[in-house]
Amino acid sequence: MILTDKRILEEIEKGNIVIEPFDRKFLGSNSYDVHLADIMSIYKDDILDARKHNKLNSFKINDDGFLLLPGRLYLAVTQEYTETHTFVPFLEGKSSIGRLGIDIHSTAGKGDIGYCNTWTLEISVKQPVRIYPGMPIGQLIYFEVSGEVLVPYNKKKTAKYNRRTKRPVESMMWKNFGNKVLNSK
């Protein structure tokens, strides 16, 4: 089940959901709007390798905005820091963003119980479009779960995205490999 606005407020009061900064006017009937921060990144290399640590070039989006171009992956971040201790958060694009041809995540829209951080966005566009810091970029939806969680995300030794940041975070897939080489079958 998806939490309603009233239930989201109740859970914020209990400390089960944290949104910083929080502004009541961004609370929808069953979601909370998140906003684009002013830092964006692109990978330094044109060819990415899942087994290596691909480095980023980060830059500030000024008040005149930034022009996104098709065929490029941009990593951005939400202004909002969130914590979710008993619910599963999903980040979805706003319909207004989708109607501009902007995708805010490739596959990573679901958070885990215990996720405590800003949200890195994997932005791509269908045609050139200018974006601005502070604009609404997505919405968080919270789902109830059935059963107890044995180890929340922020307590997992293998969690790769636990370091609190205000910058987009690159893929940490390379950490899955360690010194091993994948065997293809």
CATH top class, domain 5-170: mainly beta
* Distance (Å) of CA 73 to CA 4, 19, 86: 33, 27, 32
Tell me the pLDDT tens digit for each residue of 98-136: 999 999 987 777 888 999 999 999 999 999 999 999 999
Tell me the pLDDT tens digit for each residue of 121-179: 999 999 999 999 999 999 999 999 999 888 888 888 877 787 788 888 888 888 888 64
pTM: predicted TM-score of the whole model, two decimal places:
0.89
Q: Left (φ > 0), alpha (ψ -120 to 50) or beta: where does 134 sit?
A: left
Over range 73-101, report the average pLDDT: 95
Per the CB < 8 A criterion, the answer to whether 93 and 99 are in contact is no
Domain residue ranges of the chain, discontinuous segments joined by +: 5-170
Buried b (16+ CB within 10 A) or exposed e, 95-120: eebeebebebbeeebebbbbbbbbbb
Token pair for 26: 């961004």
Q: Catalytic site residues?
A: 122
